[in-house]
Structure 1
Amino acid sequence: MVSASKAARLAKRAADGDKKKTSRVSSKNASKAASVNGDENPMLDADGNPLPEEDQPATTEEKMKEVEKLTAQLDKHGLSDRVTTGVLSSMAASRDVKVTSASLVFHGKVLITDSTLELNFGRRYGLLGENGCGKSTLLKAIDAREYPIPDHIDIYLLNEGAPPSDLGALEWVVTEAQNELDRMEKQAEEVLEKDGPDSPILEDLYDRMDKMDPSTFHTRASLILTGLGFNKTTIQKKTKDMSGGWRMRVALAKALFVKPSLLLLDDPTAHLDLEACVWLEEYLKKWERTLVLVSHSMDFLNGVCSNMIDMRMKQLLYYGGNYDSYHKTRAEQETNQMKAYTKQQEEIAHIKKFIASAGTYANLVRQAKSRQKILDKMEADGFIQPVVPDKVFTFRFADVEKLPPPVLAFDDVSFSYSGKWEDTLYEHLDLGVDMDSRTALVGPNGVGKSTLLRLMTGKLSPIEGRVSRHTHLKLGIYSQHSAEQLDLTKSALDFVRDKFSTQSQDYQYWRQQLGRYGLSGEAQTALMGTLSEGQKSRIVFALLAIESPNMILLDEPTNGLDIPTIDSLADAINAFSGGVVVVSHDFRLLDKIAKDILVCEHKTVRRWDGSIGEYKNYLRKKMISEGAV
């Protein structure tokens, strides 16, 4: 397997090879020379002879294949590049899972060492950890059964959408449910034959099969899909005609419908609007089987989780309760640990001082030896360690020139993608955004929140009315698809240096710029295709800040970011001297930054007079009254 650092060198060698090509290939044979864009002819040496194969620069296609392998966590043979160890300590027929001596290594980097993986049936675990610590890698290792998890425990990992097909959303979920029922029936026959009718595994299978009830498949699947934002039209839409975000919702609907023994959700709210997030929170808080959830929404973790797992210091640390409870317990533990550490250090210093001053008096020498034994025993038992605080970084958007209002204004704006009035998404909008604005756009998916942002930028034009912008207005845009602008075959360091080549060519300068946004060390030189979503998001924020806009439009900026980074983002927005418009499903971020909440629905935009917390309660009560949860 090629390591991330080696792959980065591979990409750099390709670039270096391209630069050297001009000097060592004559114009006569230049057409024969290979380019990094994938020409079939090999690179030639100064005499016009092909270079050895190992010295040929990698083509773009080869580099992308390498990135895909690294991203998929596979080696050159197509095998998992994760290395795991672990011993099953729970009963083989139990619905609880306990794996001791668990470790996890990825690309040669130790993520977990000599820890315990414990997942008890019926508990809803929130998996915490900073960006890049390996949360997604751990879920993939569990899903691939690289730990000794008994076969009777069926696992479903939600990390990709439903495949493109000719089936509509509803039919795909129902088909998958029928396939799952068939699988359980086959498994029940095998268990009955192997273990007899008294097997606890068989009892659980029969109970699940009874609850499946094929006669209600369509009704129950419809309720779940509706809760996730589908309507009467989109529920019949073929999955091949859907965007990746909507296919992810279809896959989530299947996961919720079939109720696997162990459900692994990796940032399930990333493609949901606020309303769907509230629905999913209400649905999952009643989840009766085992759930492991990676989410960077503190609000969502508080609503869903009964337990927390902190992936910290290469260990899996367990806490009872939701996120708030975890935060309080951990703070108390760390306070007590620091008190004990300080007391022990004082005791050690006192003992060492006595030993040093004992001199040669016989009675003092005996006492010194006795105290040295105390010191040796303390060392053998392990000294109390100081608390290692989480890595916290703060970043700021550059101060910008204040522009007098109106900075960005909508005057009687109407819009439709077809240009026809019967298809309007918005009608007769009047609103304004100025340098001190902190505006949150909320509302269900499909009403046009992202469209409103594109109207602000001028990428879309109204069919009636006018969008006016200050002549000195410079807009910065962050969208949930911003990471697509990154060249995944490059390292972050090379990418920003090339993109802003006129600003500086100094690597150290760009290291500092990326470091300010929480990307440091090997993450700066690894191929961007191998980084986590949160790490890619940090690169995009760095790009946004370097461009120094005086108004920032943020479309789902928290996707993939860990909780401390979201807090840092909120602080940066509050400290920014320009205007900000945000579309986000993270209630906590909106609570910290939003001065104005605009609800987008029914072809218009209206101001919400209360707080974002009150808006969430309004959505919850609305769902309960409509019987949606």
Structure 2
Amino acid sequence: MVSASKAARMAKRGDGEKKKVSKSSKKDVVDDVEGDAQEQPATTDEKMKEVEKLTAQMDKHGLSDRVTTGVLSSLPSSRDVKITSASLVFHGKVLITDSTLELNFGRRYGLLGENGCGKSTLLKSIATREYPIPDHIDIYLLNEGAPPTDLGALEWVVTEAQNQLDNMEKKAEEILEQEGPDSPILEDLYDRMDKMDPSTFHTRASLILTGLGFNKVTINKKTKDMSGGWRMRVALAKALFVKPSLLLLDDPTAHLDLEACVWLEEYLKKWDRTLILVSHSMDFLNGVCTNMLDMRMKQLLYYGGNYDSYHKTRSEQEVNQMKAYTKQQEEIVHIKKFIASAGTYANLVRQAKSRQKILDKMEADGFIQPVIPDRVFSFRFADVDKLPPPVLSFDDVSFSYSGKWEDTLYEHLDFGVDMDSRTALVGPNGVGKSTLLRIMTGKLNPIGGRVSRHTHLKLGMYSQHSAEQLDLTKSSLEFVRDRFPEKSQDYQYWRQQLGRYGLSGEGQTALMGTLSEGQKSRIVFALLAIESPNMILLDEPTNGLDIPTIDSLADAINAYSGGVVVVSHDFRLLDKIAKDIMVCENKTVTRWDGSIGEYKEHLRKKMISAGAV
């Protein structure tokens, strides 16, 4: 069995036209696991091991259970990449077949596709060079945070930048020896090395980290003392600083607040190398992307412009396609009717044969296919009885994690949330938006003042970590049936409940540990709806969800008869649902008199005036 890295080297030694097949040497192991999965494991530990094996996409050798094929059709020395006959199979599921992967230098691609279609898998395949991407194109995939070390955030980024510069100098020497001074690859390398300028490393790294939300204290905090979300920001800072030829960002805003999202959008607008971005924020895609790449029908489909342009172009194409399909179907019916009625008259038989030839040519050329619309999931939260105000109120509330007044996060808060509230909490990371939600639930208690809740108030909470409550050793079907045994034991009933939230077929019967983050999020929303709370608190509910599901969530919130409080970095979601925008800052909460769009513009102007972008 040939390893992925060895296969890549073999392909590069070929004539450039040789088809490359990258296949994991662990495939036999996974086949054994899948075979064993048919037998019921004896213990939970055994099932967890099974889940870990099934979900393991990488081992220490960089091998995976992905199978890719592709032919490099662009020049090996070009900064543009074109790979034809591209395919991608993951755990036996075909994600892409006989398509073209084309990445032109300087373009910023938004990668689209519904949850579970394989966007993250494609990025990993590109990052590990399972496609024949020339060695001179350095690739950086942001899908995990900086490692826990004794270095502060700033020092870690600077150290990584110095390592990158050393690697580039070594690479330049190799190319100089092998290809001489006239190599176009060498010219690009020298240009990049000149622009890096080690004397400015600390200054430029500080600006990037500050834009991503670090302050004078946290910028020197050791990465080992940071949460996963903050380590992800450090890794993002490195990616932006070293400026690889090909940058792959998988949902980079998931751990950012609104202010950092605005900064990153402004920064990436000026990105002059190749970028592939997975983001479920239409607003962010519109601001950053020059092209859209749609993973649909097991193909890679390309569109010029940002998300809005893509949506308009695709809609027009589908209208024209349906018109052509309808016209052809009418023509086929007419021809078949004539052939059937031709009888035995010689002249009619000749005409019938002529028309049959027309029909045969249509079939040989391929009939026009009808448009297959995207699956749209329109779910609802159950209607609840109205509770008279006050439903949830803060009266002179102050809070401190230490219990000491000198450490207060909030002081003297006075506001309320009722059944018709649609309240968005905004503000920088670290000010305590999630803390405020936990104070509302009663999981945290104030050190001063009082939180009053209606006696019949039933709160439902969705957080970024809600998926951790799922038993990954069970299928979603088993899990919800076992979670609510009093409601029904009928699998068909639970199939319908999960289906309403966009989980169907294999998604219902596969172990939850093998599902994508977006699919897990849908299960959590199904649980939330089944519990029928009369007020819902949502902490970053869009993370991992695709765009149609976010739209469906917005519709569900607007149709819900209870109160909603939401913390989100998705401007578009907030624009669709928020009636009240509350800014959490400087130990207090104040109402923003304006729209979320105006708040975003306020943040942008503040950054520009401060010289942050």
TM-score range for the pair, normalised by the shorter chain length: over 0.9
How far the C-alpha of 1:470 sits from its partner, in A, is 0.4
Deviations 1:403-422 (A, max 9, x none): 11000000000111111111
CA contact (8 A) 1:358 1:368 kept: yes
CA contact (8 A) 1:5 1:522 kept: no
In the alignment, which residue of structure 2 is the partner of 1:537?
Answer: 521
3-state secondary structure, aligned to 2:464: coil
Correspondent of 1:156 among 140, 147, 154: 140
Correspondent of 1:10 among 25, 37, 44: 37
3-state secondary structure, aligned to 1:446: coil
Residues 119-518 of structure 1 mapped to structure 2, 5 A cutoff: 119-518=103-502
Letter in 2 for 1:214: P
CA gap 1:6/1:342 in 2 versus in 1, 3 angstroms: farther
How many correspondences in the alignment? 586
How far the C-alpha of 1:277 sits from its partner, in A, is 0.2
Stretch moving more, 68-77 or 448-457: 68-77
Residues in 2 aligned to 1:468 and 1:235: alpha-carbon distance in whole angstroms:
39
Deviations 1:33-84 (A, max 9, x none): xxxxxxxxxxxxxxxxxxxxxxxx2x44443333233223259998411111
Residues in 1 aligned to 2:277 and 2:158: alpha-carbon distance in whole angstroms:
24
How far the C-alpha of 1:8 sits from its partner, in A, is 11
How far the C-alpha of 1:509 sits from its partner, in A, is 1.6
Residues in 1 aligned to 2:81 and 2:335: alpha-carbon distance in whole angstroms:
46
Residues in 2 aligned to 1:373 and 1:349: alpha-carbon distance in whole angstroms:
15
Residues in 2 aligned to 1:132 and 1:620: alpha-carbon distance in whole angstroms:
34
Letter in 1 for 2:453: R
Letter in 1 for 2:305: G
3-state secondary structure, aligned to 1:625: helix
3-state secondary structure, aligned to 2:440: helix
How far the C-alpha of 1:108 sits from its partner, in A, is 0.9
In the alignment, which residue of structure 1 is the partner of 2:53?
Answer: 69
Residues in 2 aligned to 1:419 and 1:434: alpha-carbon distance in whole angstroms:
28
CA gap 1:74/1:64 in 2 versus in 1, 3 angstroms: farther
3-state secondary structure, aligned to 2:590: strand
Letter in 2 for 1:179: N
CA contact (8 A) 1:8 1:526 kept: no
Residues in 2 aligned to 1:546 and 1:146: alpha-carbon distance in whole angstroms:
43
CA contact (8 A) 1:11 1:489 kept: no
CA contact (8 A) 1:4 1:526 kept: no
3-state secondary structure, aligned to 2:310: helix
Letter in 2 for 1:388: I
Deviations 1:161-198 (A, max 9, x none): 00111111111101100110011011101111111100
Letter in 1 for 2:433: K
CA contact (8 A) 2:109 2:276 kept: yes
Stretch moving more, 525-534 or 562-571: 525-534
Q: Does 1:576 align with 2:560?
A: yes
CA gap 1:109/1:623 in 2 versus in 1, 3 angstroms: same
Letter in 2 for 1:385: Q
Residues in 2 aligned to 1:78 and 1:152: alpha-carbon distance in whole angstroms:
19
How far the C-alpha of 1:3 sits from its partner, in A, is 6.4
CA gap 1:512/1:520 in 2 versus in 1, 3 angstroms: same
Residues in 2 aligned to 1:141 and 1:116: alpha-carbon distance in whole angstroms:
14
Structure 1 unaligned blocks of 5 or more = 15-56
Residues in 1 aligned to 2:140 and 2:50: alpha-carbon distance in whole angstroms:
27
Letter in 2 for 1:280: L
Q: Does 1:82 align with 2:66?
A: yes
Residues in 1 aligned to 2:329 and 2:60: alpha-carbon distance in whole angstroms:
50
CA contact (8 A) 1:439 1:581 kept: yes
In the alignment, which residue of structure 2 is the partner of 1:110?
Answer: 94
Stretch moving more, 551-560 or 518-527: 518-527
Moved over 4 A (4+): 1-9, 74-78
CA gap 1:94/1:233 in 2 versus in 1, 3 angstroms: same
How far the C-alpha of 1:355 sits from its partner, in A, is 1.1
3-state secondary structure, aligned to 1:353: helix
- Let me know the Cα RMSD of the aligned residues: 1.6
Letter in 2 for 1:551: M
In the alignment, which residue of structure 1 is the partner of 2:533?
Answer: 549
In the alignment, which residue of structure 2 is the partner of 1:41?
Answer: none
CA contact (8 A) 1:5 1:525 kept: no
3-state secondary structure, aligned to 1:628: coil
Residues in 1 aligned to 2:431 and 2:408: alpha-carbon distance in whole angstroms:
11
CA contact (8 A) 1:8 1:491 kept: no
How far the C-alpha of 1:503 sits from its partner, in A, is 2.4
Residues in 1 aligned to 2:61 and 2:236: alpha-carbon distance in whole angstroms:
31
CA contact (8 A) 1:86 1:101 kept: yes
Letter in 2 for 1:486: L
Deviations 1:299-353 (A, max 9, x none): 0000000000010000000000000000000000000001111111111111111
Letter in 2 for 1:614: E
How far the C-alpha of 1:12 sits from its partner, in A, is 7.5
State the identity as a percent: 89
3-state secondary structure, aligned to 2:111: strand
Letter in 1 for 2:361: K
How far the C-alpha of 1:130 sits from its partner, in A, is 0.4
How far the C-alpha of 1:363 sits from its partner, in A, is 1.4
CA contact (8 A) 2:30 2:53 kept: no
CA gap 1:573/1:396 in 2 versus in 1, 3 angstroms: same
3-state secondary structure, aligned to 1:13: coil
Stretch moving more, 89-98 or 488-497: 488-497
